[in-house]
């Protein structure tokens, strides 16, 4: 849709408190500006605009709200311009802000804007630009953005939501689904105050750990996530989710967590959580490497046990015509089927991991 650029007064522009890139639940303009100032690039942006003015090609994207406008895209640029006009808003880097004011002359009172009627119009544009485009956001910001955009498809199934969102941003539906479910998991962790893990909060949490572990079947089963269900978190195990969060983020005396969020550690953890004995040893304090090595040593034992179990069942099959119906035998057979399904899923997950990207 073609839009004309309008020049709008800085005082008539408000920050977007739903901005996906904000790791804080800001309640005021001052809180947003303070957080923005933690990034030194804001000072560089102030200097650039203060020296050369506001380039029309960097027009910000806004939607009307009452007598003012909400800046959906361009909050960093708005911060820089506000600080140029109202340096008293700076709670950090006050000395540097004053130095920039001395070195510059431009104080834009109006900013070039593209005005949209609805937030939805801008969100769809941002999806392509920042989720898959050249100015890509971090994974948490992407997930938060997709969760916002998901509201426009709330009457559709999760599969349909993922597919529609994937088409809008030029991505794959499986990746979109992982981000959507990952953000729901993140919200559970956030609602629990990050389990009071020292120094863990919105700014230090690595969301990519969640996005990555959702690729691993045994970890998903440990946490109680089933991506094939309409509600993948229907049976989420919050106790195990807390355990997993602590494994990733709780530091020991050497400032090291028990599991790193890299592919190697995730692969080892996924293998360990697929074995009850290895899981128990690991959760009881054994290192991830030692728990994983015990699995490598038991591979030949696994094969022998599997072949022996197959032979035992084949022998049992030769007797079944002589056996009367017994409910307890039916229950035993159901347990055997469930064990076989679990073994099959674990082995298939290993094949999937080879193609994870």
Give pLDDT tens digits for 202-246.
888 999 999 899 989 999 999 999 999 999 999 999 999 999 999
Residue 134 confidence class, pLDDT cut points 50, 70, 90: very low
Residue 297 has what pLDDT?
65
In the chain, the percentage of residues whose pLDDT exceeds 90 is: 45
The larger pLDDT score, comparing residue 168 to residue 175, is at 175
- Extract the runs of DSSP E, i.e. beta strands, from the chain: 5-9, 13-15, 60-65, 68-73, 110-115
Tell me the CATH class for 5-117.
alpha beta
Residue 177 has what pLDDT?
92
Question: Which range is most confident: 194-198, 276-280, 320-324?
Answer: 194-198
Strands 5-9 and 60-65, by their bridges, are unpaired
Asked whether the beta carbons of 108 and 81 are under 8 A apart, the reply is: yes
Token pair 């506001």 is at which residue? 54
Residue 36 has what pLDDT?
86
Residue 249 confidence class, pLDDT cut points 50, 70, 90: very high
Question: Which range is most confident: 132-141, 160-169, 170-179, 277-286?
Answer: 277-286
Q: How many CB atoms lie within 10 A of CB 91?
A: 11
H helix count then E strand count, the chain: 16, 5
Residue 124 has what pLDDT?
63
Alpha helices, DSSP H, located in 171-287: 173-191, 208-213, 217-223, 238-249, 263-272, 276-283
Report CA Rg, the chain.
Answer: 27
């Amino acid at each position: 849709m073609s839009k004309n650029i309008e020049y709008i007064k800085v005082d008539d522009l408000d920050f977007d408190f739903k901005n996906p890139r904000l790791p804080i639940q800001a309640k005021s303009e001052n809180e947003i500006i303070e957080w923005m100032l933690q990034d030194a690039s804001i000072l560089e942006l102030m200097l650039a605009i203060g020296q050369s003015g506001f380039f029309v090609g960097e027009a910000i994207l806004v939607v009307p709200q009452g007598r003012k406008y909400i800046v959906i895209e361009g909050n960093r640029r708005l911060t820089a311009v506000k600080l140029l006009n109202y340096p008293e808003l700076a709670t950090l880097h006050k000395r540097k802000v004053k130095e920039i004011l001395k070195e510059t002359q431009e104080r834009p009172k109006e900013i070039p804007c593209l005005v949209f009627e609805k937030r939805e119009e801008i969100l769809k544009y941002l999806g392509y630009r920042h989720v898959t485009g050249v100015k890509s956001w971090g994974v948490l910001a992407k997930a938060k953005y997709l969760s916002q955009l998901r509201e426009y498809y709330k009457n559709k199934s999760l599969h349909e939501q993922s597919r529609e969102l994937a088409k809008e941003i030029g991505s794959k539906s499986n990746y979109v689904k992982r981000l959507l479910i990952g953000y729901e998991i993140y919200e559970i962790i956030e609602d629990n105050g990050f389990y009071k893990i020292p120094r863990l909060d919105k700014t230090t949490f690595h969301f990519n750990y969640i996005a990555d572990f959702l690729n691993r079947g045994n970890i998903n089963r440990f946490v109680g996530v089933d991506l094939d269900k309409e509600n993948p978190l229907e049976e989420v195990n919050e106790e195990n989710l807390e355990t997993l969060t602590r494994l990733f983020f709780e530091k020991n005396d050497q400032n090291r967590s028990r599991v790193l969020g890299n592919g190697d550690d995730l692969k080892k953890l996924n293998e360990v959580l697929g074995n009850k004995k290895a899981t128990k040893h690991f959760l009881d304090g054994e290192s991830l490497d030692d728990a994983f090595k015990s699995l490598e040593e038991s591979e030949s034992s696994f094969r022998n046990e599997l072949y022996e179990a197959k032979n035992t069942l084949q022998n049992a099959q030769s007797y079944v015509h002589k056996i009367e119906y017994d409910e307890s035998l039916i229950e035993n057979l159901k347990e055997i089927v469930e064990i076989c399904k679990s073994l099959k899923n674990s082995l298939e997950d290993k094949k999937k991991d080879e193609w994870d990207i």
